[in-house]
Structure formats: structure tokens, C-alpha cells
Amino acid sequence: MTGAGMMDCKRALESTNGNMEAAVDHLRKAGLKKVEKRAAKTASEGVVFSYIHPGSRVGVLLELNSETDFVARGADFTALAKDIAMHIAWSKPRYVSREEIPAPELEREKEIYRSQLKPGQEKMADKIIAGKLEKFYEDTCLLEQFDARDAAAKKRIGDLVSQLSAKVGEKVVLRRFVRFEVGEGIEKQLMDFSAEVASVAGNA
């Protein structure tokens, strides 16, 4: 069930008096602790996974890294790459993590939230803005988003990566992605071009 070694499973069952559910939780916690210890390791192996959504109007390229080629070739690793690529096709994230968001964009969001404050909310401003920023991260950052396949489970994409790390005993990193959609951006480019033409005509 967990992918842990036989002796680890035996010790977990012994420590929980045979309680299967508690033993699974015990193994997951132990696995996550091992992942934390491997945070400084370099994950330079992995795969570039491609996904084309039915209808061929949306495509995703995703790089998922691991410490060894052995793990990168595993079925669980490939399955996670596919699941995340499908999620990206549906959810349209813009960044991998909140750390990637440019500072000017973040400040612009904060200013918008400040302008939306109602009279009397000034003392709670920082708390309100922080709450709205969390929602902004959830909407725009892949690792912060909830898995689109199972909204009831309330697992974020970052949780899925951590769980795989715990299972394989290696550092797993979701490095980057790009999402393509047919026609995306064309309308804006045409509008910008039309504005430029109008400006040139007006100056003439």
C-alpha cells in the first residue's frame, strides 16, 4: 500500500499494535522526515513529460526531477508527471511556486486588495490582504493548487510531490512547465497592433 520496505511495515504495525490505518500514517510521517533530510540533495535526473489534451487544442510540457535515473523511470514517477500535466491543462497555473511571482506583480495585487477594503477594516488590513494573497497563490501557483482530479481529498499538487518523495526515498522536484493553447494571446496581439497602426495614422 505504501511502497515502504517489508521490515519498515512490520515495525510500523508493531508500534501501532496492528492498527493498519495508524501504521500507514506512521510510515508516511517517517517518509516525509526522510524527505526533509534530503532537501539539500541535487535532483538532476528526471523526465520531460508531454501531454496533449483531447481535441489537440491544449498541450503541456513538464519537467519533473529526481536524484536518480532509476526513480525517474519508475511507474509512480511517470504517473505523477502525467497527472500533474493533465492538471495544468485544466487549471492554467502561471507559476510553479509563490517564490517565482515577480515582486512588482505581487505589490500590484496588494494595492488592489487595499483599494477593496471597506470602511472600518483598516485595523485588520494586513490580515485581510494576507488571506486574499493565499487565494491568489492558490489560483496562480501550481504547487499551491488543489488536485483537480479529486477536489474532495483537498490535496495540493505540492502534497503529491512530497508523497512521492517519501515513497521513493529521494528528492523529487517539480522544476518547470509550459502550457500551450491554440489561439492564446492572438487577440491581444491584434489589439496592440491595431492600436499601433492607429497611433501611426494619427501622427501622420
Please provide the distance, in angstroms rounded to a whole number, between the alpha carbons at the two ends of the chain.
73
Taking only the tens place, the pLDDT of each residue in 55-88 is 999 999 999 999 999 999 999 999 999 999 999 9
pLDDT at 186 over 90: no
| Average of per-residue pLDDT across 180-204 | 67
What's the pLDDT score for residue 38?
Answer: 58
Q: Which residues pair with 95 in a beta bridge?
A: 141
Q: What are the sequence ranges of the domains in the chain?
A: 1-37, 45-183
What's the pLDDT score for residue 152?
Answer: 74
What's the pLDDT score for residue 151?
Answer: 66
11-25, 125-139, 140-154, 158-172 — which is least confidently predicted? Answer: 11-25
Q: Which residues pair with 178 in a beta bridge?
A: 61
Please give the CATH number for the structural domain made up of 45-183: 3.30.479.20
Q: List the beta strands (DSSP E) in the chain.
A: 45-52, 58-66, 173-181
Taking only the tens place, the pLDDT of each residue in 1-42 is 555 556 667 777 787 888 887 776 766 666 655 555 555 577
CA distance 202 to 79: 56
- What one-character DSSP code corresponds to residue 146? B
